[in-house]
Structure 1
Amino acid sequence: MYSVLMSTPERLIESTRDLLWERGYVGTSPKAIQQRAGAGQGSMYHHFAGKSELALAAIRRTAEQMRAAAEASFGAPGEGAYARIRGYLLRERDVLRGCPVGRLTMDPEVIADPELRQPVEETLDWLRGRLAGIVAEGRDSGEFAAGLDPRQTAATIVATVQGGYVLARASGTTEPFDHAVRGLLALLAAHTSDER
């Protein structure tokens, strides 16, 4: 499944990422990781102390990739705040598969373990903070209405995206996600000083 050019630790991490997304922590057995990675038990335990350490590396990688994808979608700082938020909301996503970080919040074993939960919590905090900063820039420049609260708006954006994933998965179609993000953009546009 993975390139022979990938190192064994990389194959193990990527296999664990996939399995966590597909099966959750409990369903991700060391044997399944080894089979998917094409690695033996000795090789796995040579590089990682156990399933928990490997899962933590996989969750950190997932969090890093989510941050990078979000940051890339925000566009250049010179663009308007509305355009940057629009870029984030309308970026290409595998909507029916869901958010890999958001799905980890629904995994009881991940949430119960402070070490595994930490990168999930930090990533969602970072995303809300990053969006709040963009909303604040828009408000301070006069693009958004003065009464628009950056933190509340950022929380609404993240909740809309995460909720949109849930609604789309429940219905088996991307339509609820699309309606949610476009509805949010319409509400944000009503708080801008420009016609959108």
Structure 2
Amino acid sequence: MNTAERLIESTRELLWDRGYTATSPKAILQRAGVGQGSMYHHFTGKADLALAAIRCSAEEVKEEAEQRLSSSGTSLDRIASYSAGASDVLRGCPVGRLTADPEIVDDDRMRQPVEETFAWLQQRLTAVLSEGQEGKDEGDALDPADTAAAILAVVQGGYVLARASGSAASFDQAVNGLLSMLNRLAA
């Protein structure tokens, strides 16, 4: 990785773990193993670097979701694959966690990639559900857009429940309940 990439990656990890306010430029520089001049050579400041990191995290979340939602199987199989979440649910979603940070939510530029990521996820889930209805993988009792919003809410809420309880079992229970409902409605 070059210096700019190390700075972005370090910022991504710190934002995910600490949030924007608790992520200092000093911590970023230490984690990246670079000097202060390097940060300001590549970025205008902490906010500019954070925006690059948020965009990078957003792209990673979309790429992982696309991989799961494009896998083989029925639409419900693909929804189940997406809903399984990351391997470390206790860390939460690297984009979803940013919504709890007032400085990110209050800044239109930093909030934009977060908002766009969730809009993209909802549209992609809607498309998968619509494909399932066309292919008769599922019944047409469910509105694809509303169901996609519910799936996204359950997955993101599952991360919150897991973090609150300190146990991935809370995430698993939320997702299993969602999938059970979807399977029953599809039958």
**Which range, TM-score by smaller chain?**
over 0.9
Q: Secondary structure at the match of 2:21?
A: helix
Q: Give how far 1:90 is off.
A: 2.1
Residue aligning to 2:119:
125
CA distance in 1 between counterparts of 2:149 and 2:88 reads: 22
Residue aligning to 1:8:
3
Residue aligning to 1:152:
146
One of 23, 41, 66 as aligned partner of 1:28: 23
Residue aligning to 1:40:
35
Higher relative contact order (Cα pairs below 8 Å, separated by 6+ residues): 2
Structure 2 residue identity aligned to 1:169: R
Structure 1 gaps of 5+ residues are 1-5
Structure 2 gaps of 5+ residues are none
Q: Give how far 1:141 is off.
A: 1.9
Q: Secondary structure at the match of 1:27?
A: coil
Residue 179 (1) aligns with residue 143 (2): no
Greater shift in the superposed pair: 140-149 or 150-159 = 140-149
Contact 1:75 1:87 in 2 (8 A): no
Q: Give how far 1:186 is off.
A: 0.6
Contact 1:90 1:181 in 2 (8 A): yes
Q: Give how far 1:92 is off.
A: 4.1
CA distance in 2 between counterparts of 1:66 and 1:135 reads: 19
| Structure 1 residues 19 and 105: alpha-carbon distance in aligned structure 2, compared to 1, 3 A threshold | same
TM-score normalized by the length of structure 2: 0.96
CA distance in 1 between counterparts of 2:142 and 2:116 reads: 25
Residue aligning to 1:60:
55
Ranges of 4+ aligned residues in structure 1 off by more than 6 Å: none
CA distance in 1 between counterparts of 2:114 and 2:130 reads: 24
- Deviation track 1:111-149 (CA, whole Å, cap 9, x = no partner) reads 000000000000000000000111111112222112210
CA distance in 2 between counterparts of 1:10 and 1:119 reads: 18
- The size of the alignment, in residue pairs, is 187
One of 31, 43, 46 as aligned partner of 1:51: 46
CA distance in 2 between counterparts of 1:96 and 1:54 reads: 25
| Structure 1 residues 106 and 92: alpha-carbon distance in aligned structure 2, compared to 1, 3 A threshold | closer
Q: Give how far 1:91 is off.
A: 4.7
Contact 1:139 1:148 in 2 (8 A): no
